[in-house]
């Protein structure tokens, strides 16, 4: 009898989406518990007292697994099903490197979206250069970073496919442009069209509506990041 899997998430989070894709690709049934992050439940505070963030994965009675990419590696290792990470150690190291790179990009992406003037322009240039580096990791003639099917790196980068457009709309800034990154844009379309992804991709307009009220918060975070640089 399989132990129950619960995923604590919230609507519109790209990090929660990552975990949902991983669970679905692996064929693991789960219960999604949606949090209102303005009113955190006792469940969330108990299981992730530390960061109080989503996603949080509960597998049976085990203590929570937190941090989306760490959760995905856990899913890959704890459950049978198609592998999410490559099987070759070098390819795995590359996938982990580029997933870590995505994490490092978050500051320049955020500053490029939510600030203005020269600070914004410099970060936009940096972010576009980062997108080029990521784009180059797409294997020649394949739909996904993982090859013919979605893999770990597709999931790590997947936020860009859907949420970049959302943030660009709210911010009024364009970072991912067809002429500048044709291969990455093509990848983004393939990602969105994937059947498994489609099962857990939140409706774009609903996400825009949910995240637009957070714009001021995003701006203040971006300003703090810019000040730290």
Partner 1 sequence: MAGEGDLKLLGMVVSPFVVRVRMALHLKGVSYEYIEQDLFNKGELLLRYNPVHKKVPVLIHNGKPVCESLAIVQYVDEVWAASSPSILPTDPHERAVARFWAAYVDDKFFPAWIGIMRAETEEERAKKMSEMAAVVKQLEVALAQCSNGKDFFSGDSVGYLDIAVGCNLFWLDAMRKMFGVVVIDAARTPFFAAWADRFRESDVGKVALPDADIAAEYAKKIQAHRAAAVASK
- Residue 192 and residue 17 in contact, taking contact as beta carbons nearer than 8 Å: no
Query: What span, in angstroms and rounded, lies between the C-alpha atoms of 180 and 68?
Result: 29
Alpha helix (H) ranges present in the chain? Answer: 14-26, 42-47, 68-78, 89-114, 117-135, 152-171, 182-193, 195-199, 204-211, 215-228
Joined together, the tokens standing for residue 3 give: 């132990």
70 binds partner 1 (CB under 8 A): yes
Task: Determine if 221 is a binding residue for partner 1 (CB under 8 A).
Answer: no
Select the residue interacting with partner 1 from 8, 21, 44, 66 (CB under 8 A).
66
Among 65, 112, 171, 175, the residue binding partner 1 under the rule CB under 8 A is 65
Q: Does 135 bind partner 1 (CB under 8 A)?
A: no
Structure tokens at 150: 């979605």
Applying CB under 8 A, among 11, 15, 101, 218 the residue interacting with partner 1 is 101
51 vs 216 by CB, closer to partner 1: 51
- In the complex, the smallest distance separating the C-beta of residue 208 from partner 1, rounded to whole angstroms, is 29
Mapping DSSP to helix (H, G, I), strand (E, B) and coil, where does residue 32 land? strand
| 138 near partner 1 (CB under 8 A) | no
Q: Site residues (CB under 8 A) for partner 1? A: 50, 59, 62-63, 65-67, 70-71, 73-74, 77-78, 89-90, 92-94, 96-97, 100-101, 133
């Amino acid at each position: 009898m399989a132990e129950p899997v619960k995923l604590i998430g919230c609507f519109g989070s790209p990090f929660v989406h990552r975990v949902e894709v991983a669970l679905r690709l692996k064929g693991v049934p789960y219960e999604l518990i949606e949090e209102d992050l303005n009113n955190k439940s006792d469940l969330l505070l108990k299981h992730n007292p530390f960061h109080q963030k989503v996603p949080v994965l509960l597998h049976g009675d085990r203590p929570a697994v937190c941090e989306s990419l760490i959760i995905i590696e856990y899913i890959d290792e704890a459950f049978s099903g198609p592998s999410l990470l490559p099987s070759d150690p070098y390819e795995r190291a590359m996938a982990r490197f580029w997933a870590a790179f995505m994490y490092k990009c978050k500051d320049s992406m955020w500053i490029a979206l939510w600030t203005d003037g020269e600070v914004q322009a410099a970060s936009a240039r940096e972010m576009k250069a980062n997108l080029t580096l990521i784009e180059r990791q797409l294997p020649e003639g394949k739909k996904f970073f993982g090859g013919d099917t979605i893999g770990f790196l597709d999931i790590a980068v997947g936020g860009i496919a859907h949420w970049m457009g959302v943030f660009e709309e709210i911010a009024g800034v364009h970072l991912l442009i067809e002429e500048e990154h044709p291969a990455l844009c093509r990848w983004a379309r393939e990602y969105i069209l994937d059947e498994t992804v489609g099962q857990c991709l939140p409706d774009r307009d609903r996400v825009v509506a949910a995240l637009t009220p957070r714009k001021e918060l995003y701006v203040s975070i971006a300003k703090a990041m810019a000040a730290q640089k």
